[in-house]
Amino acid sequence: MYKHSYASRIQNHTNPAARLLLEIMERKQSNLAVSVDVTKAQDFLAIIDAVGPYVCMIKTHVDVIEDFEPSLVRTLQALSAKYDFCIFEDRKFADIGNTVALQYASGVYKIAEWSHLTNAHPVPGPSVVTGLKSVGLQRGRGLLLLAEMSTAGALTTGSYTEDAVKMARANRDFVVGFIAQRRMESVGASKTDDTTGEDFLILTPGVGLDVKGDGMGQQYRTPREVVVGAGCDVIIVGRGVYGTDYSLTAKIAGQAKRYQDEGWKAYLERLTA
């Protein structure tokens, strides 16, 4: 059982984005990240305004927003300051180093300018980290590698996952952890997760309290299964929080509070088990 508290782990990280996330988690007593996957800027902002008090992080897919304008990012940053949450653009970079550096810094979205954390598929090998790091490190940004996915039949298993952990170990100033379904410290190591002396942030999607899947391959586990059973740090919840009617902001806020409570209760159970 991984028993280290979020507060005690801040000192294990030099990366400013990793430290900020752990500080916010402790301050707000929240290990909930809400993934806001909606296509209208107005809905996007209304959901963030509703869930803001309950989350440590907002995860975005900016490229699905149909009426995106650069001002939306400034509003998002203002909400991040108002409600005290980190921003994680779930870009899933997966190209050669030179291309991902351009995609991260430039284009319409200029992700590196506003997103504390982003992520990458390890599939191109270490050069994907080198490219992103050349843009993000100097700005105090952090990277998560997708070591495992939540979907049925995902190819992210065995030696692929092990190689993702190796890529992270070689870049600990920038790679702060993983998108994964369990802890990763013991992968490729002969010790248990909590005795390696390593500290990766484990952010875990595929979390839901009411349903087990979405009919398109997504697989859900409960916050307790993820945090106590698998030792993960942050639960990422999308549709389980905001449902299908985005105008029901009081209900959305209630769901966020429900997931915050469940996630934190599970964390306290893990610490004291």
Site string for ligand S5P, 85-124 (x = CB under 6 A): -----x----------------------------------
**How far is the C-alpha of 259 from the C-alpha of 35, rounded, in Å?**
13
251 known ligand binder? no
Is 191 assigned to a binding site? Answer: no
CB 97 within 8 A of CB 128: yes
Task: Build a one-symbol-per-residue string for 38-77: x at contacts with ligand S5P by CB under 6 A, - elsewhere.
Answer: -----------------------x----------------
Rule CB under 6 A: say whether 34 interacts with ligand S5P. Answer: no
- The token duo for 197 is 């002396």
Beta bridge partners of 93: 120
The structure tokens listed for 247 are 């105008």
Nearest distance from residue 262's CB to ligand S5P, in Å?
14
3-state DSSP assignment of residue 215: coil
Identify which range of 7-15, 105-113, 237-245, 263-271 contacts ligand S5P by CB under 6 A.
237-245
Residue 256 φ then ψ, to 5°:
-60, -45
Residue with tokens 């030179």: 98
Any contact of residue 35 with ligand S5P (CB under 6 A)? Answer: yes
Q: Which two tokens stand for residue 65?
A: 């927003």
Known binding residue 150? Answer is yes
193 annotated active-site: no
Site for ligand S5P contains 37 (CB under 6 A): yes
Q: How far is CA 99 from CA 121, 129, 157, in A?
A: 14, 12, 26
In the complex, least distance from residue 217 CB atom to ligand S5P, rounded to whole angstroms: 9
DSSP states along 61-88: -GGG-TT--HHHHHHHHHHHHHHT-EEE
Between 103 and 218, whose beta carbon lies closer to ligand S5P?
Answer: 218
Q: Which residues bind ligand S5P (CB under 6 A)?
A: 35, 37, 61, 90, 149-150, 179, 205-206, 214, 218, 236-240
The binding site comprises 37, 59, 150, 218, 238-239
* Active centre residues (catalytic): 90, 92, 95
